[in-house]
Structure 1
Amino acid sequence: MITISDVKKIYQSKAGPISAVDGVNLSVKEGEIFGVIGYSGAGKSTLIRMLNGLEVPTEGTINVGGQAVSTIKGKKLREARQSIGMIFQHFNLLWSRTVIDNIQFPLEIAGVPKKERVNRANELLTLVGLEGRGDAYPAQLSGGQKQRVGIARALANNPRVLLCDEATSALDPQTTDSILDLLVDINKRLGLTIVLITHEMHVIKKICHRVAVMENGKVAELGDVLEVFRNPQQQVTKRFVKEVSQDQDSDEVIEQLIKEYPTGKVLKFTFVGDSTGQPLITSLIRKFDLEVNILQGQISQTQKGAYGTLFVHLDGEESQLKEALTFAESQLVKVEVMAG
């Protein structure tokens, strides 16, 4: 569906050339929700803008749905963009037009007859959960409702690809989740390929199938979301994963747990997929002569299964502790010794 090959984007400045994207190679499958995450300046915004021709690569090629958007121009590029919808962080709505007129706008530009435009806009109002708000103006809507209008407008031309440029960054957490749920629903109903960029790992965790982690214009890490959570390789990825999987176990909390349990071992168990449903603690208690204390933990859901962390304290004979660790690892649980 989308192929990015050896893409570079270099901007010229008074201080010299600035490399925003540096040799990126990516592919996105049809019907996939693909996330690109990175901190400010990582190059993710430049990358997504090149997917619909708003920016042209300095080197390399970009193919979206069979169209070489990195090289085509004029009428061919405009036609290609009709199959690529885009939603933005700050909505980019026309404030002087009603909701239904905003949704119709791409169809108006494309020369679609008015009756057909109105019918399509009403269908989309229902799809995004805004029935009855067609005559409202953007200023009368909440942030989440504005973004729903932006999504409906992006879908007006029946695109094959939907690009999301920090689409939830201006929203509160509850509204963010409702918009993400809507994107998942659209992906499933329409088979739409979605590419989103974000600096929030919660967004990746909640809806993406695969993720590319960008740093300094390069792809630092790439893989299935569950695998990236289970075994992050790069330091930047570990920082992102920690934001959502270890929000309860900051360094201070871990240090306090270690102080409270000076003997035995403080362990961190990481569960992925089917392993989250295993009765590991019950098995440890039954199989080994150990004291087992659950300290804290949490389980999160991703599009490809559950991901969880659990901190426990085990105390007992050293031989029993070693056997218990070996047993835990045999249950496809990642084990980290935090102390002891």
Structure 2
Amino acid sequence: MISIKSLQKVFQSSSGNVQAVDDVSLDIEKGEIFGVIGYSGAGKSTFIRLLNRLEDPTSGEIVIDDNDISKLRGKGLRKARQEIGMIYQHFNLLWSRTVKENIGFPLEIANVPKQEREQRVNELVDLVGLSGRENAYPSQLSGGQKQRVGIARALANKPKVLLCDEATSALDPETTDSILDLLTDINKKLGLTIILITHEMHVIRKISNRVAVMEEGRVVEQGDVLDVFRNPQQKVTKRFVEQVMGDRDQDDSLQEILTHYDSGHILKLHFVGEKTNQAVISEVAKQYDISINILQGKITQTQKGAYGTLVVHLTGEESVIQEAIQYISATSVKVEVNPDAS
């Protein structure tokens, strides 16, 4: 669906060149929700603006449905942009227009006949859950409702791709979840490819199928969200996973907990997917003559399944403990024995 090869963007200034996007290559499948995460200055917002040519690439290719939009100009570019919707952090609504008029604005520009335009707008009002608010003005709407208008407007021309640039950053957590649920629903109903730019791992965790991590203009890590949660490779990725899993706080408290245990073994267990629902600890307690004390645990859900960690303390005969550890390891649960929490 989308193939990005060796994409680069260099901004020129009086103080020298700034490499905002540096040799980024990605393949994004049709109908998936693909997340791009990075801290401020990572280049992610410039990257997404390159995808709909709000910024011109310095070099590289952006191919969408076999159409290299990086080479388009004039009428061809305008037509390609109609197939790429975009929603923004601060909504970018026309304050003098109603909900319906905001949603219908792209259709006006495209010279869609009035009757067809009104039918499409009514469909979108219903799709984004704004029935009864279609004649309200932006100043009369909540933040979440404004973003729903922005989403409906982005869908007006029936795009193949929806770009979301920090679409939930201005919203409270509850409203963020409702907007993410809406995007997931739209993705399923319309088969729309969604590219989501954010600095919040919670957003990636909740709805993305795959994720690319950006730092200093480059993609430093990418993969299935569940795999990235389970085994982050880069320092920046580990920081993002900590946002959701609370690993740093857990490690601090675990370090304190460990000072109270000078015998037995501490195990840190990593559960992935269906294994989070397995009663591994209960089975171990039944089969082996050891004592098990649960010290700490956390489970989080992703689109591809659950990921969780559990810290337990085992006491008993050393040989029996080792048998129990082997049993747990054989279930494909990743086991760290006497983990270093420092």
Shorter-chain TM-score tier: over 0.9
Determine the structure 2 residue equivalent to 1:28: 28
- Matches of 2:323 and 2:70, distance apart in 1: 57
Displaced runs of 4 or more, over 3 A: 247-251
Q: Any conservation in 2 of the 1:266–1:338 contact (CA below 8 Å)?
A: yes
Contact persistence 1:258–1:339 (CA under 8 A): no
Do 1:267 and 1:339's aligned partners in 2 also have CA atoms closer than 8 Å?
no
**Residues 171-202 of structure 1: CA deviation (Å, up to 9, x unaligned):** 01000000000000000000000000101000
SS at match of 2:189: helix
Q: Greater CA deviation, 257-266 or 102-111?
A: 257-266
Q: How does 1:34-73 map to 2 (within 5 A)?
A: 34-73=34-73
Task: Give the letter for the 1:304 counterpart.
Answer: K
Q: Secondary structure at the match of 1:164?
A: strand
Structure 2 CA distance for aligned equivalents of residues 21 and 205 of structure 1: 24
Cα distance in 1 for partners of 2:193, 2:222 equals 18
Q: Which moved more, 1:260-269 or 1:226-235?
A: 260-269
3-state DSSP class of the match of 2:90?
Answer: coil
Aligned partners of 1:172 and 1:266: how far apart in 2? 38
Q: Distance in 1 between matches of 2:57 and 2:25?
A: 13
The gaps in structure 1 that reach 5 residues or longer are none
Shift of 1:321: 2.9
1:116-265 → structure 2 map (5 Å cutoff): 116-246=116-246, 249-265=249-265
Q: Partner letter of residue 294 of structure 1?
A: I
Secondary structure in structure 1 of the residue aligned to 2:312: strand
Give the stretch that moved more between structures: 9-18 or 84-93: 9-18
Tell me how far apart the structure 2 counterparts of residues 193 and 300 of structure 1 sit (CA, whole Å): 24
The amino acid across from 2:84 in the alignment is I
How far, CA to CA, are the matches of 1:76 and 1:144 in structure 2? 34
Matched with 1:295 is 295
Deviation at 1:247, TM superposition (A): 5.5
Offset of residue 209 of structure 1? 0.4
* Separation in 2, partners of 1:263, 1:92: 61
1:338 maps to what in 2? Answer: 339
Name the counterpart of 1:9. Answer: 9
**How far 1:322 moved relative to its partner?**
2.8
| CA distance in structure 2 between the aligned counterparts of 1:209 and 1:142, rounded to whole angstroms | 29
Moved more, 98-107 or 274-283: 274-283
Is the 1:21–1:47 contact (alpha carbons within 8 Å) kept by the matching residues of 2?
yes
CA distance in 2 between partners of 1:287 and 1:11 (Å):
64
* Structure 1 position 248, deviation (Å): 8.1
Q: Could you say what secondary structure the match of 1:34 adopts?
A: strand
Distance of 1:177 and 1:157 partners within structure 2: 26
1:197-229 per-position Cα deviation (integer Å, ceiling 9, x unaligned): 101000111000000011111111111111111
SS at match of 2:139: helix
Q: 1:28 to 1:339 in 2, by over 3 A?
A: closer
Offset of 1:339 from its aligned partner?
Answer: 5.2
CA distance in 1, matches of 2:18, 2:262: 51
**Aligned mates of 1:176, 1:213 — CA distance in 2:** 21
Shift of residue 306 of structure 1?
Answer: 1.3
Total equivalences in the alignment: 340
Contact kept? 1:298, 1:309, Cα under 8 Å: yes
Equivalent in the alignment of 1:318: 318
2-structure distance, mates of 1:284, 1:306: 21
Cα distance per residue 1:54-79 (max 9 Å; x no partner) = 11111111112222121101111110
- Going from structure 1 to structure 2, the CA distance change for 1:78 and 1:339 (only over 3 Å counts) comes to closer
**Contact 1:51–1:64 (CA under 8 A) maintained in structure 2:** no
Give 2:102's aligned amino acid: N
Q: TM-score, normalised by structure 2?
A: 0.96
Assess if the C-alpha contact under 8 Å between 2:242 and 2:248 holds in 1.
Answer: no
Match for 2:266: what amino acid?
A: V
Shift of 1:283: 1.7
One-letter amino acid of the counterpart of residue 164, structure 2: C
1:112 matched to 2:151? The reply is: no
Q: Which runs of 5+ in 2 are unaligned?
A: none
